[in-house]
Structure formats: C-alpha cells, structure tokens
Structure 1
Amino acid sequence: MTFLGILAGVLILGLIMVIHELGHFLAGRALGFKIEQFSIFMGPVLFEREKNGIRYNIKALPLGASVSFAGEESEIEGQGKADYEPDDPGLFENKPKWQRAIVIAMGPFLNFVTALLVFVILFTAQGAVVPRIGRVREETLLYSSSIETGDRITRLNGMRVTSPLDLSIAEMGHGEDEAWVIEYVKADGSRHQETLEPQKAPPRPMLGITYSEGEDGSYTIVSVHADADQGEAGFMQGDQVLTLAGIPFGETEAVTQAILESEGQPLSSEIIRKGKKMELVVTPFMLEADMPLGIVLTLSKRAGDILSQGIQYPISIFRTTVRGLGMLFAGKIGFRDSFAGPITIVSMAADTVTGGRSLADIASSLATLLGLLSVAIGFTNLLPIP
C-alpha cells in the first residue's frame, strides 16, 4: 500500500464518520438539544471557534468525528464535565425518548442518503445496470428457456432481485446441483416462472488451471487440474503466468479464443517460476464443465432507471448486510468477514488507488466504495453493539 492509497482510505472513512456525526448534530439542533461541542476528526485541535455556546473544532488526524450533547456521560476533552441544572430541558437525558431516537437514527440516515446521492451521480455518469436481460448467449441455460431479451428478473431462487447486487448474491448462494428458479416479467407486464435444471456444457479445450489476480495485475496459479500437463514441463501451483500463445494473460477474451482455436494443439506460455522467467509448452485438453446460467443484464442511461437504481442499490446493500449478519449467527461466516473494521476499509481504498488504472476508474471505484461503506457503517451503527 502506498502513502497515497492509505491517505485515500483514511479520508473516505473520515468523511463517512463526519457525515454520520453531522446527522446527529443537525437533528439535535433542530430539536433543541444543548450541544457542547462538534469536532471534525480526532487528536490535537488545529482550529476552534465558539458560536451560540457550541465549540466547533477541527483536529489533526483525518479520521472520525464527534458530537458532545449536554447531559451525556462523556466529558469534553480539555474542559471536564460541564455543570447543568438537573431539570434543564435541553439536556439529552431530559428530552423525550422519541426525540432522542431521532437524534440517534439521523446519523445512519444521513449515511444512507449519502449513498443514494453517490450512486445516482455514478449512474448518471456511467449508466445503470438494471435487472433486465440484455442478451441471451448460446451454450447457456438461459438459451434453451423462454426468457428473452428485455425480460425483467424479479426473483432468483426465491431471492428478490431489484439490482445487479441482488442477482450476484443469489448466484453466490446457489448450490452446484440445484436447479435455478427464475421469476420474471415480460414487456407486456405478464409474470412468469421458469425452472432450469443444471446441465453440462459440451467439452471444450481448457488449460485446467485456476488462478488469482494480484493487485499489480499478475496472475498466479492456485491449482492445476489432474488431467492437465503437470510437473516441471507443465503449469505448477505458484507459477505466475505472463503470456499464452504470445498474448498477455490479462487479455482474457483473446486468451480464451486462442485456447478454443487450439483444438488440442500445444501452446507456448511465458511464466515466472520461483523468481525465474521461463517458457513452457502446454497442451489444452477437452474438459466438460457445468453450463453457465448466462444472465447478461442491460446497461441503461434512462433517467428513470438511474434514479431507481440509485435508490435500490443502497437498499440491496442493506439487505446483503442483513443476510451477512444472519450467516454470522448461523456460523456460516466469521465475525471478521461480516464487519469491515477501519484497517480493512483503509486497505480496500488503498488497493483501489494502487491498482494501476486510470484516474477516472480510480475515482469511480472510490466513489463506489464510499457508497458501499456509507450503507454498511450506517447499518452497523443501528445495531446494539457497544
């Protein structure tokens, strides 16, 4: 992680927390709560001003924010606990419960509003992917069904679909031998349901490797199929693949086409093994795989779709977070996988900045991260976790 990447992560997290605390502050002011201090960031005070009895300050470390309400347990840094009349109506503890609830809820609410605005702006610039079929590809389960281009998917395997995120989560939870149950709406408004049983795709030439993509754009082999060329003469776990048939391995479509056109004939591959660059000759072999479902969604630039997805996407993130919490309690995932702490968030942003992409792509990814984390942190703050 570079310094710039870490700084981007810290600033995103800091911005989210400032917006969150601003929600508490604005609600408190509107409802007549006595507020002692509103702080942006943490650490030593760089700038401070007092107005209408409230101390406003900016601190040195760009992470977090805080609001101090009169009557709370905490003391103001450097000032100690203020003295108030016990029956002062402006004290936090003397306010009606419904007003206190509004103040507490307004922080997460403003995070959700931030996410909505971020996604509307992003989708206005880039277009919004909507859960409508964009095209039906051959050699997919969808190709042999009654589902057509333009049909709108409403549920997949019983899970409601209002955004691409819902669809991805439903696909991730699908069992290998389970049927796909798709509910969809035709252009004329008629509703349909179709069940697609899993099938095997026709055998095709494949390398028989699985790999992971690194932050620097490298491709490292994770596992090698038992029928593939193995040992010193073939691919091995840990090899970093540079090229195949002279094509950079990152050019996925071109590499896939080269494998398909090889018809089982040997292909050259340049790799790095144990720090040394070397060239292999590998032979694709015929492998039978599961036929993909084949859902390709539509990219829309219509104002209605942009606004709809701007609203639906944060809702989908919220639903996904709730499902993750359910999986946590069911023991299917660990606590660290269900809640991203500050270090994880900073790391995610740093990886985005150092991914070696264009400035436009980086800005888009950081904005997406801001929207995602605004919902996640807003939701987390609604939970009864100290």
Structure 2
Amino acid sequence: MGILLAILVLSFLIIIHELGHFLVAKAFKVKVNEFSLFMGPKLFSFQKGETTYSLRLIPLGGYVKMEGEEEESDDERAYNKKPVGVRSAIIAAGPIMNILIALIFAFILMAQTGYNTTQVKTVLPGSVAEQKGIKVGDTLEKYNGKTVFLPADLEIFAYPLKNESVDLQFERNGETHNITLTPNREQDGYMLGFTPKDYQSFDGVDSTLVAQVTDNSPAEEAGLKKGDRIIKINGMEINTRRDISKLVDELGKEEITITVDREGKVQELKPVKPVARKTAEWKAIGLEFEYSKGGFINTLKASVDYSISTSRSIYYSIGWLITQIVPMSELSGPVGITTLISDVVQDTPSIKETVYSLLSISAMISINLGLVNLIPFPALDGSKLLLLLIEKIRRKPLNPEKEAMITMVGFVLLIALMIYVTFNDILRRI
C-alpha cells in the first residue's frame, strides 16, 4: 500500500510539472504533438485533437513534445516561431506549477494542524539567550544577517558552523534589537534514536509514544518498537518527551534501561548506551518557539514562509554537495524518495495522519522538483531558460545542432547521476 501511494504521489507531481508546460503552451497557441507521462517505451496512448497522450514504461519524468521544439519547423504555431518571452514562459511554467502546488499543500496542512512561528515561547534557564536578555514574546528575525522564516532555519544556518559566534536580530514591542552570542554547541547531547508520535511538542501526551525507530540506533538495539510508550528510564518515571531528553542528556554515556508499556504490558528492554548528537541550534542558544494555529492570512503567510525556507535549504544543500560538506552518497533518487514516502505512510496510525504526512512530504518533494529543474544544467528547464537568455542577448538563436548536443550531453550525465543515486538508495535500503 505504501509503495503504491508513493508511486501515485510522484506520478501526480510529475503530471503537475508537465501540465504547467502543456497549459501555457496551449494558452499561447503552440502546437503540442505529445503529452507523455514517464519515459521509455510507450505502454499505451490515445489521440485527442492534435495531441497524443501517452503513458510510458519507465517512471522517471515525462515530457511535452511541441512542434518546433527540437527541430526547425515552418508551422506558424511551432514553438520555434514564438518570441523568446513566450518560450521562456512555457519552460518556466513546469517548475512554477510544482512550487504553487507545494504552497497549496502546505496551506491545507497548516490550516488543519497549525504552524511553527519564530516567537519565543521559552528561554531555557542558564542559557546564553537568558544571559543576553532575550525574553519570552520576542520574535527572532535574523541569524547572521539571514532572515529566519522558521525555527528549522537555525539548523540549516548552523550546519557548517562549529564554535563561531552569531549575530541575532529580534523584535520586541515594535523595536529591533541586535545581539551577538556564542551558542553552547559543545554541551553534551545524546539520543536514543526514535521519533515520537507528537514530534511537534516536548510536553504533549503522545510525546512519549513511539511512531518510528531509527535504523541501527540504540533504540533499535534495545528492542524499542513502534507503538511502545516509554514510561521509565533507569527506573525513573517518564511523563513527557522533555523528561526523556533531560534524563538521556544527564546520563550521557552511561548504559540505560528503557521500560515501556507495550499493548498494556510493562516490559523492560535490553540496556543500551545513547549516542552523541550535535546539539540543536535552538537548544544551543537556549530558545523554544511558539506553535500557532488559525487565521487565513496567518496560515497563508506561514505557508509562504515554509515554501521560501524549504527553497533556500535546497540550494544550501546543493552548495554543500558541491563543496563536499555533505557527501554525494547522501543524494536520493526515485527509489529513495519512494521508500521515504512508503515509510512515512506505514508509520502513521490513522487515515487522517496519513493524509497529513502525504501532504507534508509531497510539498517538500514538489518544491525540490521545481527548484532543481530551474538549475541551469543541460537537459533541465533551467538550462533551456539560460539558452533563451543568451538568444535574447545575441538577438539570434543558437545553432540547433549545438543546442541538441548540449541537451544530449546533459541527458547522459543526468542518467549517469540517476544510476548512481539509485544504486545508493538500494544499498541504504539493504
């Protein structure tokens, strides 16, 4: 069931992307010869008007084949006969559609579940935030000059940092304040390796209920399972996720014993040692943020903030891959994405939460699909837009043979990259 839903999600996002190209091409009266979902040998097709609609074998991508797109055509409605501005709009429409559908998904999800804000809910006692005078109710606006849209942005900004100090800008009662502090990133932090059902809260009723166990983690070694409720650690009672975090951090490298309620029976699991983790930047600074819900305008703003934040993190990640801050082995392809969606679906206990999870992950993948396609790499939409810009500057198109060669080289490189990431995905799954 999970795999089927994953394939449907990916297929839907690809259709949305190609539909963007298709609809804008039709709007500008460009002749569309074929609208294809997926690549490779044709499974079946049907003709409607001047356009052939087809489904192909390999579930990778898809395309809209326009008259005069890959070869010169004398047809007045051919793609090559249209002005540069029209052709650019057609090419950009695919990625833009993916970004728009992600925004819609995010809005629907946040309208139902709420959204993160950058307003300070708690200043942790003894933290550098407390020492610098940050107060409950302050709104964090910037981190090292970069706008903070979501608390998760802090982790993205801090990822390549070690012991560096940071500049924070926050708003209090309409006034802007600027401070410099050094987050306590060196404090010991440890984890067991599981995701609670209520992962948004540290104090929620279900923040001790296990929704997912991380592979090769201490939690998995101990025998923790989905559906377990953690009730004791080393004999000490647990009521919230905050209790778990506090106890695990205090015990550090010591061996601990987890006691769980499993289907109404109390069980003591195998003793294990927690593993060290990098301290979250919000904790290193000493802040927790408000979670809010309600209001059309606020929800729309939160959806836009989410889209901008996610978009920015994608480009940061691409930069880290290029500079090898993140190894290439971390890349995922269709197999990895399908597995991720399938795992998320299987780990949700109800239909409603399955829908929420699908909306969340679909929004993230759709933004990825849209933005990656805008990269000016041969065979991607971004490359086509760059060539159109060059044509506009030169006031004449590139040689069709040279353009076809550039596209072919890019396509071969993309296929090679796809094979590499698929191989990585399979190895990770094994």
TM-score bin (small chain): 0.7 to 0.9
Aligned residue in 1 for 2:345: 353
| Residue in 1 that maps onto 2:19 | 22
Residues 181-223 of structure 1: CA deviation (Å, up to 9, x unaligned): 21111122x1111122345999xxx9x9643338984467758
SS class of match (1:297): strand
Q: Does 2:206 correspond to 1:213?
A: no
Structure 1 residues 155, 50: closer, same or farther in 2, change over 3 A?
same
Offset at residue 68 of structure 1 (A): 1.3
Q: Counterpart of 1:70?
A: 67
**Matching residue of 2:334:** 342
Segment drifting more, 99-108 vs 164-173: 164-173
CA contact 1:247–1:255 (8 Å) conserved in 2? no
Which residue number in structure 2 is paired with residue 365 of structure 1? 357
The alignment status of 1:384 with 2:376, answered yes or no, reads yes
- Tell me if the contact between 2:118 and 2:151 (Cα under 8 Å) persists in the aligned partners: yes
Contact conserved, 1:185 with 1:191, CA < 8 A, in 2? yes
How far apart, in 2, do the equivalents of 1:88 and 1:30 lie?
17
- SS of the residue 1:351 aligns to: helix
Give distance in 1, aligned partners of 2:159 and 2:65.
Answer: 43
Q: Which residue of 2 aligns with 1:195?
A: 180
Q: By how many angstroms is 1:109 displaced?
A: 0.5
- Amino acid corresponding to residue 178 of structure 2 in structure 1: Q
Aligned match of 2:94 in 98, 103, 107?
107
Q: Which amino acid aligns with 1:132?
A: Q
Which structure has the highest strand share of the two?
Answer: 1
Q: Work out the CA distance in 2 between the residues paired with 1:200 and 1:171.
A: 10
Q: Which residue of 2 aligns with 1:227?
A: none
Q: 1:201 to 1:62 in 2, by over 3 A?
A: closer
2:233 is matched with which residue? 244
Find the residue that maps to 1:10 and give its secondary structure: helix
In structure 2, C-alpha distance between the alignment counterparts of 1:239 and 1:326, rounded to whole Å: 35
Aligned with 2:192: secondary structure? strand
Q: Structure 1 residues 211, 194: closer, same or farther in 2, change over 3 A?
A: same
Alignment of 1:306-325 (within 5 A): 306-325=299-318
Select the residue among 138, 145, 157 that pairs with 1:151.
138
| Contact 2:66 2:79 (8 Å CA) reproduced | yes
How has the CA–CA distance of structure 1 residues 340 and 258 changed in structure 2, closer, same or farther, with 3 Å as cutoff? closer
SS in 1 for 2:193: strand
Counterpart code for 2:46: E
Whichever residue aligns with residue 62 of structure 2, its letter is A
Post-superposition Cα deviations, 1:57-102, rounded to whole Å, max 9, x if no partner, equal 456777643211112339xxxxxxxxxx942221222222221111
**1:121 equivalent in structure 2:** 108
Aligned AA for 2:12? L
State the 1:358 CA deviation.
3.0
Q: 2:33·2:65 contact (CA, 8 Å) conserved in 1? A: yes
Cα distance in 2, alignment partners of residues 352 and 249 from structure 1: 26
In 1, the alpha carbon distance for the partners of 2:158 and 2:220 equals 29
The aligned counterpart of 1:38 is 35
Greater Rg over alpha carbons, structure: 1
Partner AA of 1:163 in structure 2: L
Distance 2:70 2:136 in 1: 60
Distance in 2 (alpha carbons) for counterparts of 1:193 and 1:135: 19
Structure 1 pair 201/114, CA: closer, same or farther in 2 (3 Å)? closer
- Stretch moving more, 119-128 or 41-50: 41-50
Aligned to 2:151: 164
SS in 2 for 1:379: helix
Task: Please report how far the alpha carbon of residue 115 of structure 1 lies from its aligned counterpart in structure 2 after TM superposition.
Answer: 0.9
Q: Secondary structure at the match of 1:318?
A: helix
Change (3 A) 1:109 1:251: same
- How far has the Cα of 1:142 moved from its partner? 2.1
The alpha-carbon deviation at position 269 of structure 1 amounts to 4.8
Question: 210-219 or 323-332: which moved more?
Answer: 210-219
CA contact 1:247–1:254 (8 Å) conserved in 2: no
Q: Structure 1 residues 299, 260: closer, same or farther in 2, change over 3 A?
A: closer
The structure that is helix-richer by fraction is: 2
Q: Secondary structure of the residue that 1:181 maps to in structure 2?
A: strand
Q: Distance in 2 between matches of 1:283 and 1:69?
A: 60
Q: Could you tell me which of 47, 50, 59 is aligned with 2:48?
A: 50
Say whether the 8 Å CA contact 2:148–2:154 is kept in structure 1: yes
**TM-score where L is the length of structure 1:** 0.74
SS of the residue 1:292 aligns to: helix
In structure 2, distance between residues paired with 1:311 and 1:200: 30
Cα distance, 1:201–1:345 mapped onto 2, change above 3 Å: closer
Q: For 1:101 and 1:161, how far apart are their aligned partners in 2?
A: 32
Unaligned runs of 5+ in 2: 196-209, 225-231, 261-266, 378-409, 411-430
